[in-house]
Structure 1
Amino acid sequence: MIPFNQEGLMMANARWMILLVCLIVAPSSRAEDGTMPPGGVLLTPAPKQIRWTDDKLQIGPFPTIRVTSAELAQVGRVLCEEMRRLYGLRPNIVVVTAQSAEAKVTPKNGETECEELEVPSKHDELEDGVIELVMSDSAEGTQQVRELSPWVKWPPPRNPEEGYILTVSREKATVLAATPQGCWYGCLTLLQLMQAVSKEKESTAGEHIETSTNSEANCQGNNEGLGGKMGSSAGMWLPGVCICDWPQLRFRGVHLCIFPNTELAAIRQAILWAARFKCNTVVIEPWASLKSSRHPEIAYTHAYSPEQIRPLIRLGQALHLDMVPMLNSWGHASGMRSRSGEHVVLDRFPQYRSLFEADGWSFRLANPEVYSHLFDRYEELLELFGDVRYFHIGMDEAWGHLGAVKLDLPPEKQPHELAAEHLLKLHQYFADRKIQVLMWHDMLVRRGDPEVGGAGPAGSIPPYNTHLALEKLPRDVIIAAWNYDVVGDWPIPRYFQKKGFRVVVCPWKSRRNTISLVNQAKELDLLGVLATTWDSLDVSLPSVAQAAVLAWEEPDSDLLRIPFDHWLAELRRLPICNLPSLETTLEPIQR
């Protein structure tokens, strides 16, 4: 018989072994509290894999951002500016590459830019904290991935170019990714994790300090942002964590309209907002609001110039967003919302009437001059936006709000044939430039079609029957399927998917509508989501964020876990009267 004390010791050892095995092999859980680090900061979007540790990284007033690849220098500059704006820190950037010695990167002098500092010693770096940005295919990145295996899923199983690994230890924080875009997404998560140290309770781990969200206080021109004074005086800290993350859907976008009465600050805020929740695409549609040197008739006298719009495009590029120009190339040819009763061209220049159908709502496809008009405008937009991946040609509601009209058709030409020829001409224009086309879906669906259960919106009606043009449409066109009311199953996306098209779903403003459409996109494994805002940009911002979060997260994610106050708190970090000009980070910093 084993003596009692020896038996007890063996049992205790066995229990410890079982506990150790459980800790090693247990998979990371993505339960609701799994996205809540010490201190109560809710991570949005929720990471796919997350594991907390007892480590804690102190971040002093002058942390170092160590960039280990020249490709990531611009990401480091954006991170530097955001740490200053949001938390009042004064980081400096050190670029270390295999080809060059350690080099300091310091921003240009300016109130909204990081303060110029000398390259710190190793001792200074450790005191104020180090954040490393690493490419996963580098020797250092390969070694770090090897050390984290097999727990981390790397490369990610979906959209690996946008995935990242974020680790925080007592010594440093590291963001590792295959691309600068993925690294930026990791930095966005890191910024969410930062928490202010309380002067009174500086040694208390996990305490969450409330910061002011007063918009008026953030609009005094100091651009310190939330937590700025606390961060600069008492420092920050990061909880120990290992995160491996990637998006569920490839295309996560927002459609923004610039109407003649739109303030550009609102568009800037919306671009920053989209980037905050890891959107990767912004479509910009000017409505009679962008001056044209080739066709001055298409914009009002007090419209914006290309030089005024260009900083917004560069802002999106700095935030690793695909900036997409849009010109509605069939319906909505008035350039204005239908209820305004305005027509930007015909109200002032009736000599251009031949370009439009009788009611002015749609372009007259039978007039060949339409193409020189459209192609001139395309060229101007492409000059403004630069190298683009996509172009949105609109094409919705061609008989639209003003009702069907009698068409001026060539002899023996059917309307659907004219529509098909039109689509093919536009597609060829962009294919020649290696640009992918997006278009709204509704004119390609027959109203009351039993194949889709009579679902809409559907704009093809007799005698036009434009749905017959669908079979001639190249399958590389991306269909933007919009519905702003549906909250259940909607057969339209599945219909186009079965026809061989990539599809993005397009909700608007309603949380229930957003949840329904994005969940359907994940269920069908569609290309993604394009949230719309139309003429209600301010009230649409929460649903834009909700669409982006859902599109990133797992198929079974629950948006209702996120209180509305979370969206409101994040919006207060972007006061419209004091927004950052992060497009400046695209330029190398002068040293």
Structure 2
Amino acid sequence: MKKISLFCCLVLMTVVITNAKEKINIIPRPVSVTEKDGSLTLNSKTNVYVAGDKDLISTVQFFTKKIQSATGIDLKIKNVVPKTLPASSIVVQIAKTYDKTLQEEGYSLKVSPLKIEITANKPQGIFYGMQSLLQLMPADVESIELKSLSQVSVPCVDITDYPRFGWRGMMLDVSRHFFTKKEVKQYIDEMVKYKYNTLHLHLTDDNGWRVEIKSIPGLTQKGAWRVPRYGRWGKFESPQPDEKTTYGGFYTQDDIRELIHYAADRYVTVLPEVDIPAHSLAMISAFPGLSCTQLQYPVNPGSEFYKKEDNALCIGNDSVFLMLDKIFTELAQLFPHPYMHVGGDEAYKGFWEKCPKCQKRMADEHLKNVDELQSYFIKRMENMLLAKNKKLIGWDEILEGGLAPEATVMSWRGMKGGIEAAKMNHHVVMTPYDHCYIDLYQGEPTNEPATYSMCRLSDSYNWDPVPDGVDEKFILGGQANLWTESVPNFRHAQYMTWPRSLALAEVYWSPKNQKDWNNFVDRMETQLPRLDKSGTKYATSFYNAIVKPVKADNTESLAVTLSSELGGTEIYYTFDGTDPDNHSPKYKGEPIGFWKGADEIRVIVYKNNQPVGKQVNLKLDELKKRLK
């Protein structure tokens, strides 16, 4: 009997531990979580009491409407808190005394069997507390179809939480492919669940001008439209004579105001980017006199043009600055964000070197080279923006030739530019491509839609925005950047965004000392059903096998190593052309050579005795290319 009792106790302990593990799975991971026994049940009798700040009503309505639309439970909002609270009440309140620990965006969330309390210094803290509260609830609260639930259970817990960084951004490139106002709103709704607070809109590029400038209607009349093309970006056929420009679109200023208001209701600020002086073919197509060559170029549809067509503004031409002043005057009035993003990246300077106007500018301003010419341009843009009470931010190329005095650097070519700027006491937003570019491959390329380079889920999670030797006070935060050359529609935008942006959300919000890859993976996997319920497309590439070619036994013959991003997995393979399963040869950690006569390896990953992800099939010839 003692053995049986002991066995039962062990089973019971296992159940309790397992349930505890599955109980709190919030992303980003809160600063402090204390799990407690019991739960609270929300139902149609539950009231939400808003204490002391009527401005919170709209924030609370965001929460109650979401619950109602997903479950049918109608939570009533009351602006007076009774002395005796009914059971299962929710109390939302601004702290009477400012809590320095919580800062501007932090919150305290306490769930007991009788009530839920959310306290913060500011309304945005309340909003983030509600996002965490939603994640404590079953996945059905994310449903886009009404589930008609009679009640929702919430586990008891005490949470104290606040962000590590104030800039937690996502960039959406709407130039390469245009996304509708409705789709941008949906993107905002998806990002705020994980406490992002900045939406960076890449509004202009060689491939489309996406924002109305009332004083210069030609920018959208001509620059917002191009010929339609489908296939591999960069390989498209150039526009043909008299071919109709039917692909594109733009946001009117009323559209922008609507998006800004929609985002602000969710405590998101919208950062506009007009990418200059390069990446300007859409502008130049409408006004050819702005380039050094002054040739008529079409809006580029994704065909090869770099160094062949002049996509950079002529810095020696004063009319360029007159037009930019008009553009940024309207944008400064339109966007409340304190920054204006001017791009500044990837400028081919060859046309400047041959341009008489640019050469005259260099002589007049005593500029030694074209790098200093670009620096002159950026410094002049900074003065233009400061006159409009805006600060300049640009990609790390704005360091070339000398950084503008008050500029903020968005570091994308690794972290070197950000380190250099921070050591010059400039603010930095870290967005290194190998960790933050969510348009890159996220798993085995042969299993993914075509793009370029690699940024796995673990690459996004296992990095830190503050390099060694840099004062953290200069690092504002970071972004997940979605360039859309290879992202032609919104569903694929979602696929590329999630789950890597879950990892980056945690990088930007959670304490550095709490980083734990295996713990994150467990919590991330509980988010996938929530994404399913909300109709959000996402990638499962992190499950796929990683096949790496190596030389076998110091010879010229080829072998492979197999691995997985996740722990607790088993990998099986075949060389005989059949699909592997968990009865096939199991990978044991050492390089394996191709079987004699085999020209392909097929690999599958198992977790908890079930196949996960996609099977990877790789030909010997492809692996030989990768080895070279």
**In the alignment, structure 1 residue 439 sits paired with structure 2 residue 394:** yes
Query: Is the 1:36–1:42 contact (alpha carbons within 8 Å) kept by the matching residues of 2?
Result: no
Root mean square deviation of aligned Cα? 3.3
The aligned counterpart of 1:80 is: 64
The aligned counterpart of 2:402 is: 469
The aligned counterpart of 2:460 is: 514
Deviation of residue 523 (structure 1)? Answer: 8.5
Match of 1:406 among 350, 354, 378: 354
The aligned counterpart of 2:581 is: none
The aligned counterpart of 1:48 is: 31
The aligned counterpart of 2:373 is: 418
Query: Is the 1:522–1:551 contact (alpha carbons within 8 Å) kept by the matching residues of 2?
Result: no
The aligned counterpart of 1:254 is: 170
**In the alignment, structure 1 residue 496 sits paired with structure 2 residue 452:** no
Query: Is the 1:64–1:91 contact (alpha carbons within 8 Å) kept by the matching residues of 2?
Result: yes
**In the alignment, structure 1 residue 363 sits paired with structure 2 residue 347:** no
Deviation of residue 369 (structure 1)? Answer: 1.2
CA distance in 2, matches of 1:60, 1:478: 48
Query: Is the 2:23–2:155 contact (alpha carbons within 8 Å) kept by the matching residues of 1?
Result: no
Match of 1:59 among 39, 42, 45: 42
**Across the two proteins, how many residue pairs are aligned to each other?**
436
Query: Is the 1:165–1:176 contact (alpha carbons within 8 Å) kept by the matching residues of 2?
Result: yes
**In the alignment, structure 1 residue 174 sits paired with structure 2 residue 174:** no
One-letter amino acid matched to 1:190: L
CA distance in 1, matches of 2:526, 2:393: 32
Q: Unaligned 5+ residue runs, structure 1? A: 1-32, 97-101, 103-120, 143-153, 196-209, 214-223, 336-343, 445-466, 578-591
Deviation of residue 62 (structure 1)? Answer: 4.4
State percent identity of aligned pairs.
20
CA distance in 2, matches of 1:34, 1:500: 48
Match of 2:322 among 372, 397, 417: 372
Given the superposition, is the C-alpha separation of residues 38 and 168 from structure 1 closer, same or farther in structure 2, using an over 3 Å criterion? farther
Deviation of residue 161 (structure 1)? Answer: 0.8
Given the superposition, is the C-alpha separation of residues 212 and 164 from structure 1 closer, same or farther in structure 2, using an over 3 Å criterion? closer
Deviation of residue 41 (structure 1)? Answer: 4.8
Please list, as runs of the form range in 1=range in 2, the aligned pairs for 1:182-201 lying within 5 A after superposition. Answer: 182-195=125-138
CA distance in 2, matches of 1:428, 1:349: 24
The aligned counterpart of 1:275 is: 192
CA distance in 1, matches of 2:95, 2:210: 43
Residue by residue over 1:432-452, the C-alpha shift from the partner in whole angstroms, topping out at 9 and shown as x without a partner, is 3433321100242xxxxxxxx
Residue by residue over 1:384-410, the C-alpha shift from the partner in whole angstroms, topping out at 9 and shown as x without a partner, is 33x22222111111118x988534321
Deviation of residue 428 (structure 1)? Answer: 2.2
**In the alignment, structure 1 residue 548 sits paired with structure 2 residue 505:** yes
Deviation of residue 296 (structure 1)? Answer: 2.3
Residue by residue over 1:61-110, the C-alpha shift from the partner in whole angstroms, topping out at 9 and shown as x without a partner, is 242221111232221121122222343321221123xxxxx8xxxxxxxx
Given the superposition, is the C-alpha separation of residues 523 and 284 from structure 1 closer, same or farther in structure 2, using an over 3 Å criterion? farther
Given the superposition, is the C-alpha separation of residues 529 and 193 from structure 1 closer, same or farther in structure 2, using an over 3 Å criterion? same
CA distance in 2, matches of 1:52, 1:40: 8
Residue by residue over 1:197-243, the C-alpha shift from the partner in whole angstroms, topping out at 9 and shown as x without a partner, is xxxxxxxxxxxxx7599xxxxxxxxxx626x42xx432012211111
Which stretches of structure 1, 4 residues or longer, exceed 6 Å deviation after superposition?
A: 33-36, 355-358
Residue by residue over 1:442-465, the C-alpha shift from the partner in whole angstroms, topping out at 9 and shown as x without a partner, is 242xxxxxxxxxxxxxxxxxxxxx
Secondary structure of 1:362 counterpart: coil
CA distance in 2, matches of 1:405, 1:569: 56
Given the superposition, is the C-alpha separation of residues 62 and 324 from structure 1 closer, same or farther in structure 2, using an over 3 Å criterion? farther
The aligned counterpart of 2:480 is: 531
One-letter amino acid matched to 2:213: S
**In the alignment, structure 1 residue 136 sits paired with structure 2 residue 106:** no
Deviation of residue 376 (structure 1)? Answer: 1.4
**In the alignment, structure 1 residue 160 sits paired with structure 2 residue 120:** no
**In the alignment, structure 1 residue 234 sits paired with structure 2 residue 150:** yes
The aligned counterpart of 1:572 is: 532
Deviation of residue 257 (structure 1)? Answer: 1.5
CA distance in 2, matches of 1:423, 1:132: 50
Residue by residue over 1:143-190, the C-alpha shift from the partner in whole angstroms, topping out at 9 and shown as x without a partner, is xxxxxxxxxxx531xx71111100112221111000111111111111
Query: Is the 2:171–2:481 contact (alpha carbons within 8 Å) kept by the matching residues of 1?
Result: yes
Given the superposition, is the C-alpha separation of residues 403 and 421 from structure 1 closer, same or farther in structure 2, using an over 3 Å criterion? closer
CA distance in 2, matches of 1:166, 1:35: 23
The aligned counterpart of 2:74 is: 90
The aligned counterpart of 1:9 is: none
One-letter amino acid matched to 1:270: Y
Q: Normalized per residue, which structure has more strand?
A: 2
Deviation of residue 367 (structure 1)? Answer: 1.1
Match of 1:391 among 340, 346, 358: 340
**In the alignment, structure 1 residue 427 sits paired with structure 2 residue 382:** yes
Deviation of residue 519 (structure 1)? Answer: 4.9
Secondary structure of 2:211 counterpart: coil
Query: Is the 2:70–2:141 contact (alpha carbons within 8 Å) kept by the matching residues of 1?
Result: no
One-letter amino acid matched to 1:172: K
The aligned counterpart of 1:292 is: 213
CA distance in 2, matches of 1:512, 1:552: 17
Residue by residue over 1:90-148, the C-alpha shift from the partner in whole angstroms, topping out at 9 and shown as x without a partner, is 1221123xxxxx8xxxxxxxxxxxxxxxxxx999x735x3211111126xxx8xxxxxx
**In the alignment, structure 1 residue 225 sits paired with structure 2 residue 155:** no
Query: Is the 2:211–2:253 contact (alpha carbons within 8 Å) kept by the matching residues of 1?
Result: yes
CA distance in 1, matches of 2:380, 2:215: 21
Secondary structure of 2:79 counterpart: strand
Deviation of residue 34 (structure 1)? Answer: 11
Query: Is the 2:108–2:118 contact (alpha carbons within 8 Å) kept by the matching residues of 1?
Result: yes
One-letter amino acid matched to 1:558: D
Given the superposition, is the C-alpha separation of residues 277 and 377 from structure 1 closer, same or farther in structure 2, using an over 3 Å criterion? same
Query: Is the 1:550–1:559 contact (alpha carbons within 8 Å) kept by the matching residues of 2?
Result: no
Query: Is the 1:260–1:289 contact (alpha carbons within 8 Å) kept by the matching residues of 2?
Result: no
CA distance in 2, matches of 1:266, 1:82: 18
The aligned counterpart of 1:481 is: 411
One-letter amino acid matched to 1:398: A
The aligned counterpart of 2:229 is: none
Given the superposition, is the C-alpha separation of residues 35 and 391 from structure 1 closer, same or farther in structure 2, using an over 3 Å criterion? farther
The aligned counterpart of 1:126 is: 86
Query: Is the 1:65–1:91 contact (alpha carbons within 8 Å) kept by the matching residues of 2?
Result: yes
CA distance in 2, matches of 1:191, 1:527: 28
Given the superposition, is the C-alpha separation of residues 314 and 370 from structure 1 closer, same or farther in structure 2, using an over 3 Å criterion? same
One-letter amino acid matched to 2:535: P
CA distance in 1, matches of 2:479, 2:22: 33
Given the superposition, is the C-alpha separation of residues 468 and 529 from structure 1 closer, same or farther in structure 2, using an over 3 Å criterion? same
Q: Select between 507-516 and 314-323 the one with higher mean Cα deviation.
A: 507-516
Match of 2:516 among 558, 568, 571: 558
Query: Is the 2:48–2:92 contact (alpha carbons within 8 Å) kept by the matching residues of 1?
Result: yes
CA distance in 2, matches of 1:398, 1:233: 56
Secondary structure of 2:199 counterpart: strand
The aligned counterpart of 1:218 is: none
**In the alignment, structure 1 residue 310 sits paired with structure 2 residue 257:** yes
Query: Is the 1:165–1:245 contact (alpha carbons within 8 Å) kept by the matching residues of 2?
Result: yes
CA distance in 1, matches of 2:421, 2:269: 24
Given the superposition, is the C-alpha separation of residues 496 and 567 from structure 1 closer, same or farther in structure 2, using an over 3 Å criterion? farther
